[in-house]
Amino acid sequence: MNKLFIKILFLTYLLVQVAAVYSQEQIIIPSINGEFKFDGNVDDDCWRNVNSLSMVMHTPTFGNEPTEKMVSAQPIPVELMLGNKYGTVNLVFSKNFSQTSRFGFFHMNTVKFDYKDEYKNSFILQDLVYVETFKNIRVAAGVAYSKGGFAPTAGLQYLFVGKKFMFLFAPRVNIESDPSYDIMTSIQYKPEINDRLNLYTRIQMLNLFNAEGNIKSYQWMRLGLEAKGLQFGLAFNLDEFGPDPSVDTSFGVFIRKEIF
């Protein structure tokens, strides 16, 4: 693995740490004035003057219907896939600037590292600012960075997140003299098996092309289990390169953690 990809993997690690910190809401804890009794009840006068602290359900299953008033969190999923031919690191970060804002920030970092041939290594980083114009529909613009360099980019995003089902459809164009286009689709389904386990399934697809035809396409499939925000299981990747591509495959395992 060459120095560039070591730097990219290190940058991915830093982004995980920064994103994890940024995703947390700062809370000012008020002081308590007055006397109270440790009796299991919070009916003392001093408690009544303190604002309640909203909580979010992380376990047993993130996204299940809460039993109390809670504020939804936006997890930061980080995935490592190790296949028989190559490995990948995938990080996605999406967060509104505030709970009431229609504006937000989207980052996606995908790194592919081949075990034998450094020429096959690839990466793409996207940093976009978006505005939600209609429910679940965003207009996004920013920059994309790959082996070809930096390029301004713009596109649309349709994002639906439910308790068990997630769907993302994101067409995008790189604004260049010879523009390229990509369409990314991600479908995730996590039905409950029992109180501790969910089935985890996901397919992520990308089609990158220009006026001459296909540049790069892939279909990445995952099948496994989820426990306490950690997903793991089998991974199967299909990759196609060039205008008249042949299919390259890589089969292996993955581990994915949702950081809150």
192: pLDDT strictly greater than 70: yes
166: pLDDT strictly greater than 70: yes
62: pLDDT strictly greater than 60: no
Residue 86: name the closest of 119, 114, 46 by CA: 114
Tokens found for residue 5? 């990809």
Where does residue 218 rank: exposed (0-12), middle (13-18), buried (19+ CB within 10 A)? Answer: buried
Q: Which of 43-57, 147-161, 212-226 has the lowest mean pLDDT?
A: 43-57
| Average pLDDT rounded to a whole number, residues 100-122 | 88
| Average pLDDT rounded to a whole number, residues 53-67 | 51
113: pLDDT strictly greater than 60: yes
Q: Give per-residue pLDDT as tens, 13-34.
A: 555 555 555 555 556 666 666 6
Cα gap 235→253, rounded to integer Å:
5
| Average pLDDT rounded to a whole number, residues 30-55 | 64
61: pLDDT strictly greater than 90: no
Q: Domain of 63: which CATH number?
A: 2.40.160
256: pLDDT strictly greater than 80: yes
Task: State residue 68's pLDDT score.
Answer: 44
Tokens found for residue 227? 């426990």
List of residues 6+ apart from 123 with CB closer than 8 A: 5, 8, 109, 110, 111, 112, 146, 147
pTM above 0.85, yes or no: no
Share of the chain above pLDDT 70, in %: 71
Higher pLDDT: 171 or 258? It is: 171
Residue span of the structural domain in which 238 resides: 3-259
Q: What separation in angstroms does the CA of 192 have from each of 148, 221, 233, 242?
A: 42, 19, 16, 40
Count of domains observed in the chain: 1
Beta bridge partners of 240: 217, 247
Cα gap 118→2, rounded to integer Å:
7
Share of the chain above pLDDT 90, in %: 42
Task: State residue 224's pLDDT score.
Answer: 97
Which helix (H) or strand (E) segment holds residue 182: the answer is: strand 180-189
Please, what sign has the CA dihedral across residues 191, 194, 197, 199?
Answer: negative
Cα gap 206→126, rounded to integer Å:
14
Question: Where residue 49 falls among pLDDT bands split at 50, 70, 90?
Answer: low
Higher pLDDT: 146 or 256? It is: 256
